[in-house]
Amino acid sequence: MCNLQDHYQAWDAYAEHMRGIALLRSRPIELPQGPVRPSEATPIVSAEAEGARLELLSWGWRPAGGKGLVINLRSESRRDEPAVRGLTFPTAFYEYSGDKPSKTQWRFTAATNEPIAFAVICRGSAYALLTCEPGPDVAPIHARQPVILPRGAWRRWLTAPDWPDDLAAPSPAGALRATRTR
């Protein structure tokens, strides 16, 4: 499953995303630019009483057993409250195909002007991506995909008191472009 994201968006892009859902309350912060791997900091937008905040959280948390990192969570078994839901806006993410090293790497980007918005669950100073069944753009390459929310669903994802099952769905055909990178 996805273990690499690209983040090439400045504060202004995140501010525009938050304004679009009428939740801007954060002050500008310096955002990391470039590839992000598990355990590295990523900008996360989450809701709070006065609006939304943008903070840097580490991708992944230690599981109860203490080994490795939890970086992905299956959305089908979740019922998390709004207080732990968040969004991150990568410019691309990567999946791998094949059974043997070296696997084929695929870079996924938005096929339209719509930004990619991953649904995440936050725990303390860390987060994990929610995953779902793959949509038609991802299915030929991988058996799961990150939950990608359309712009019109961002506010509901962050604030709905009940778990929004319908949002944890595969991306529609034509939403993503896959490019083989190796």
pLDDT of 148-160, one tens digit each?
999 889 989 999 9
Q: How confident is the model at residue 19 (pLDDT cuts 50, 70, 90)?
A: low
Enter the DSSP assignment of 175: S
pTM of the model: 0.90
In a 3-state reduction of DSSP, which class is residue 84? Answer: helix
The rounded distance, in Å, linking the Cα atoms of 57 and 60 is 9
Backbone angles phi, psi at 139, to 5 degrees: -50, -40
Residue 20 has a pLDDT of: 60
Q: Is the pLDDT of residue 14 over 80?
A: no
159-173 pLDDT per residue, tens: 999 999 999 999 999
Cβ contacts of residue 19 below 8 Å, gap of 6+?
A: none
Q: What is the DSSP letter of 115?
A: P
**In this structure, are residues 16 and 27 in contact, taking their beta carbons and an 8 Å threshold?**
no
Fold of the domain built from segment(s) 5-180: hypothetical protein yedk fold (3.90.1680)
Confidence of residue 31 (pLDDT cuts 50, 70, 90): confident
CB of 148 closer than 8 Å to CB of 118: yes
Among the residue ranges 10-19, 52-61, 79-88, 92-101, the one predicted with the least confidence is 10-19
Q: Is the pLDDT of residue 124 over 70?
A: yes
pLDDT of residue 28: 67
Name the more confident of 81 and 9.
Answer: 81
Q: Exposed, middle or buried by CB within 10 Å (0-12, 13-18, 19+), for 71?
A: buried
